[in-house]
Structure 1
Amino acid sequence: MSATIKDNNKKRSWSEVNKSKKAERKKWKEVNLEKKMKKELTGAEINQNLIANQEHITALKRFSSISIAVPGSIIENAQSPELKTYLAGQIARAACIFQVDEIVVFDDYADEVTAKKAKFNDNVGEQVARQSCVQLGRILQYLECPQYLRKSFFPIHNDLKYCGILNPLNAPHHLGTKDEFIFREGVVLNTPVKVGKGSIVNVGLLQPVQIDKTLVPGIRCTVKLLPRDTNSKKLKGVVVSPLLPRSETGIYWGYAVRIAKSLSKVFSQCPYKEGYDLTIGTSDKGSSVDEFDCPKYKHLLIMFGGLQGLESALENDNVLDADDPKLLFDYYLNTLPEQGSKTIRTEEAILVSLSALRSKLNPEFEVQKFDETKVYCKDSAVTEDNVDAVDSEINEANNSRSKEVEIKNDMSRFDSD
């Protein structure tokens, strides 16, 4: 007869009692291990985090930005879906060439009730806006995103159906596998790691990077790579502000996209705490750009009108009381006096205006010039020689990525949203 024990008026065998005690001991060990790992944060890691936070704060203080605002209705004026996509590509190319930091797509019809709407995700969160504004914003976001991250953030969608015909931005942060640079954009992978060891991030290299913080899987982050440790097989890095690469190295690091449901919300929803301290409106009714003397600025906004100009956008806005759009801006400029055509298209006006203003701009914080001859983070690059040095944690990350939905060339799979 086997030995038994009575517990809570129920008889259990000794094997069941031992199993329950082992499970309880295991639970306590895990709790104690978690506490121990939190206490074992070394002084070097603490200093590293402090340095990263200080760099983040410094970058914000000394950063002068350029924003442009374009109406989403210009997409509706295009004759075909291919031309709509190409028009958005022209705007993205112009923004990249002239190092624009923010593109605001505003509804110059002031969020009409009868207009077709769609959902859009930006830094603020998900919102519902006019279909043309959302389509333009989505294409701009797609082109700005590094190619190795697009599958993670952009599922198959009808708005992106013809993006294959667009010219690539070739932005500096669109790095290849063999490109050597200290900063990289990445996506946090859903890879299990030990408590207190941070997250695993895909940054477009042959193996992912282990960062210093634990982040939610699926989000985009900017990673600063650390020099490779000869005693470790892993690549390591720290999460930094997206502004830091440009502030520290002088290299352009892409633009952000924001949707504004009316002309007034371009100003009221400005992401900068103090707002835009210099605003410029463009129109053939403005004063000549040749007479423009640019004051110092921290955050500059340049606004462009649609088919009917900024006058129509102002008339449709229920918040602004001004009768003349020039009253909304510090300067109202004609960036191409004596033009030969009766009209200048918005995508053309962006190139013309940014070209005319480039030599006149006077930012308060000058960004250092990027030195192309300098090699950044050579020790952190992954080559074909060391790709075999991958542990089980890295293999799990690769398996996780392989499960993501792949974008195929079958155009019939695009939805109608």
Structure 2
Amino acid sequence: METPVTKKKTKKMKREEMEQQRTDESVDVDEAAATSVEKKTKKKKRRRGEEENGEEAEGGGVQTVSIAVAGSIIDNAQSSELATRLAGQIARAATIFRIDEVIVFDDQAKATTSNISIWDADEKNKSGALFMARILNYLDIPQYLRRTLVPRHNDLRHVGLLPPLDAPHHARKHEWVPYREGVTLDRTSVAGGGTFVDVGLHKAVCIQQTFEPGLRVTVAMGSKRSLEDDCIRQAVDRSEPNKKMGLYWGYNVRYSSNISCVFKECPYQGGYDYSIGTSEHGDKISSGDLEIPKFRHLLIAFGGLAGLEENIEQDGDLMGKNVTQLFSRYLNTCPKQGSRTIRTEEAIFISLQYFQDPIQRATI
């Protein structure tokens, strides 16, 4: 026979068991919901990963736009100062329209390869293409790195007259930005690992990786604004600011000894999968009607003083070919021009604006 005390304990235990049961059921429901969400998330991640892997297999998954410009337009300039200003206009156009690569091809050279450094070339070589490549390269480098990374050269004597590109990777000294360009120093951290990098601030920062001095690197600065030595940062691929945050991070400069080398020495795996030549002799299509297929690497070419047709005729590797065989499309981007001639630096601005909408429609 149960005592009153035992009955009270029994009722209390039953209430506790019922409450525990409700709690367990609630937990089960929550866990089931969490598991469902987790499965969906994993499925999405797996699907996204498959898409990314597919993109990588096909060539990186990042679209690039390159422009090729004939170096002979520099030879037509009446002075070194005007030639410098002309190259500066092309650099500004490349930056404004987020161009990834600028190829300067030498339509006056006889060489068949481009195995030449634009800075190591003999200064007596008065090639307009090399001159332009040097100015373009100098302007893309952040101002605080130029003294370290750019050698003294006679072709640079008028660069102080040029307006800055003011691109995101040209960070100012007082700015704290997610990424900064830097140059590695001949210093390692006290702990014996990592490398110090000059990123244009009042103090060098330390990165985890170990590099030899004098290399240009992109540094992820993170959210912590401390410049203390124990705040270790990371060197990342130069494409990361664009991939993760959509920041335009400058252009690469490439010298080509002729127009055929523009294609043969393409740095992208698989080459340019779509190319466009521009000329007043090209097809007249409005930008609204122009359809560019989805692409990985797009090339837009601008000819020299006599146009792309003559550049192709002068190239021994392209004998027997015409301009329509070399490019996917051959277009006139300014069909109702008032002047008999459009200068190349003008054509670049006109054409890159003309291609803006078609390129956006062709986004992967």
SS of the equivalent of 1:319 reads helix
- 1:111 to partner: Cα distance: 2.8
Q: Name segments (4+ residues, structure 1) moved above 3 Å.
A: 126-130, 192-196, 226-235, 362-366
- 1:219 to partner: Cα distance: 1.0
Residue 271 of structure 1 pairs with residue 267 of structure 2: yes
Amino acid at match of 2:212: V
**Among 350, 353, 359, the residue aligned to 1:352:** 350
Could you tell which deviates more after superposition, 348-357 or 152-161? Answer: 152-161
**Among 265, 274, 291, the residue aligned to 1:293:** 291
**Hey, what does 1:338 align to over in structure 2?**
336
1:230 to 1:83, Cα distance in 2 relative to 1, 3 A: closer
Structure with greater contact order relative to length (CA < 8 Å, sep ≥ 6): 1
Amino acid at match of 1:293: E
Q: TM-score, normalised by structure 1?
A: 0.68
- 1:135 to partner: Cα distance: 0.9
Partners of 1:198 and 1:225 in 2: how far apart? 15
**Among 160, 166, 170, the residue aligned to 1:170:** 166
Partners of 2:104 and 2:226 in 1: how far apart? 48
- 1:109 to partner: Cα distance: 2.5
Q: Is the 8 A contact 2:189 2:206 kept in 1?
A: no
Gaps of 5+ in 2: 1-51
Q: TM-score, normalised by structure 2?
A: 0.78
Q: Is the 8 A contact 1:209 1:234 kept in 2?
A: no
Q: Is the 8 A contact 2:188 2:194 kept in 1?
A: no
1:287 to 1:80, Cα distance in 2 relative to 1, 3 A: same
Return the index of the structure with the highest Cα Rg.
Answer: 2
Residue 136 of structure 1 pairs with residue 135 of structure 2: no
**Hey, what does 2:155 align to over in structure 1?**
159
**Hey, what does 1:321 align to over in structure 2?**
319
Q: Is the 8 A contact 2:203 2:227 kept in 1?
A: no
**Hey, what does 2:71 align to over in structure 1?**
72
- 1:231 to partner: Cα distance: 11
**Hey, what does 2:101 align to over in structure 1?**
102
Amino acid at match of 2:76: N
1:154 to 1:363, Cα distance in 2 relative to 1, 3 A: farther
Amino acid at match of 1:70: V
Residue 92 of structure 1 pairs with residue 75 of structure 2: no
1:97 to 1:84, Cα distance in 2 relative to 1, 3 A: same
**Hey, what does 2:61 align to over in structure 1?**
62
Amino acid at match of 2:102: I
Report % sequence identity.
44
1:364 to 1:293, Cα distance in 2 relative to 1, 3 A: closer
Amino acid at match of 2:128: S
**Hey, what does 1:311 align to over in structure 2?**
309
Q: Is the 8 A contact 2:176 2:225 kept in 1?
A: no
* 1:146-177 deviations in Å (ceiling 9; x for gaps): 00001101232110000011111111110012
- 1:191 to partner: Cα distance: 1.8
**Hey, what does 2:24 align to over in structure 1?**
none
**Hey, what does 1:12 align to over in structure 2?**
none
- 1:265 to partner: Cα distance: 0.4
* 1:61-108 deviations in Å (ceiling 9; x for gaps): 331000000011111100011100000000000000000000000011
Q: Is the 8 A contact 2:182 2:199 kept in 1?
A: yes
RMSD across aligned C-alpha pairs, in angstroms? 2.6
1:207 to 1:266, Cα distance in 2 relative to 1, 3 A: same
1:156 to 1:231, Cα distance in 2 relative to 1, 3 A: closer
1:235 to 1:163, Cα distance in 2 relative to 1, 3 A: farther
* Pairing 1:13-412 to 2, within 5 Å after superposition: 61-111=60-110, 119-121=117-119, 131-193=127-189, 197-228=193-224, 233-290=229-286, 291-362=289-360
Amino acid at match of 1:225: M
Amino acid at match of 1:276: Y
- 1:274 to partner: Cα distance: 1.1
- 1:130 to partner: Cα distance: 6.3
- 1:360 to partner: Cα distance: 1.2
SS of the equivalent of 2:346 reads helix
1:95 to 1:190, Cα distance in 2 relative to 1, 3 A: same
Amino acid at match of 1:181: V
Partners of 1:195 and 1:320 in 2: how far apart? 58
Amino acid at match of 2:349: L
- 1:181 to partner: Cα distance: 1.2
Partners of 1:230 and 1:303 in 2: how far apart? 46
